Amino acid sequence: MSLVVGGYAVTDPGGWAGIGGTVLGVLVMFGLSLLALYRPAGATVVLTVAACAPLGFGVWSLLDYASAHGWEDRHGPLSLVLVMFVCAPAAVVGLLRPRVAGCLIVTVTVVPLLLQAVGATSRFYEPLSVGLVVAPLVVSGVLFLLSGRRQGQRHRSAPSHPSASSPGDAVLR
């Protein structure tokens, strides 16, 4: 997906504007990823606020699809860029907080596409074709959600009581 977005950034705005925008975007994602690695709680707040951007674009597409689609045709795939800005650092948050990462990733990938599809009415297939590009992100979000669900469950081999000893404990003493 990043190659698609990078390619559009160089061709749609073109020239130094496209290259500068791409470099700026990569630096923002890198900074947010570092924040997610070292301060996951703070990054969760920042990414939750940042998730409003792709959702806002989805609402714009719902209300005036022709205008939003036309703007993207002239300036590049803003909807994909906004999704990438949230999903890449959210994946880093998922190292420690998989449920939060899964919710963020699924929300910013699925909800805007559905809003765009409803706004496009009879041309609903146009925004859904973008869904093919973000499908790996949706899958990763679902996997984070499943991982977060499993993280809260007790493993079958774990003792039922924390002070209960297992037969192997005597050997370790």
3-state secondary structure of 99: helix
Residues 6+ apart with CB under 8 A from 16: none
The torsion region of residue 153 among left (phi > 0), alpha (psi -120 to 50) and beta comes to beta
118-127 pLDDT, tens digit per residue, is 988 878 778 7
Cα separation, 173 vs 168, in Å, equals 9
pTM of the model: 0.77
Question: Which of 14-28, 51-65, 127-141 is the most confident on average?
Answer: 51-65
Cα separation, 35 vs 37, in Å, equals 5
21-60 pLDDT, tens digit per residue, is 777 888 988 999 999 999 999 999 999 999 999 999 999 9
Q: Could you state, in order of their start, the residue ranges of all structural domains in the chain?
A: 2-151
**Rounded percentage of the chain residues whose pLDDT exceeds 90:** 47
- Given a contact cutoff of 8 angstroms between Cβ atoms, the answer to whether 81 and 2 are in contact is no
- Given a contact cutoff of 8 angstroms between Cβ atoms, the answer to whether 105 and 91 are in contact is yes
- Given a contact cutoff of 8 angstroms between Cβ atoms, the answer to whether 70 and 120 are in contact is no
